[in-house]
Amino acid sequence: MKTIGIIGGMGPMATVDLMQKIICATEAREDQEHIHILVDNNTNVPDRTAAILGQGPSPVPELLKSAERLTSQGADFLVMACNTAHYFLPPLLPYLQIPVISMIEATAEYCKTQGYQKVGLLATTGTCRTGIYQRALEHAGIEPLLPTEAQGAAIHAMIYDGVKAGKADYDTQPVCQALHEMEAAGAEAFILGCTEIPVAVAMYHITGNFIDATQVLAEKAVRLAGATCRSQLPQPAAR
* Residues recognised as catalytic: 82, 194
Backbone dihedral angles phi then psi of residue 134, each to the nearest 5 degrees: -60, -45
Omega before 11 cis (within 30°)? Answer: yes
List, in sequence order, every beta strand (DSSP E) within the chain: 4-8, 37-41, 77-80, 118-122, 143-145, 189-192, 210-212
Question: 134 to each of 51, 71, 79, 137, how far by Cα in Å?
Answer: 20, 31, 20, 5
Question: How many secondary structure helices (H) and strands (E) does the chain include?
Answer: 11, 7
d(CA 84, CA 80): 10
Residue of 127, 125, 37, 26 whose CA lies nearest to 75: 37
Q: Are 86 and 107 in contact (CB under 8 A)?
A: no
d(CA 15, CA 163): 13
Question: DSSP state, 11?
Answer: S
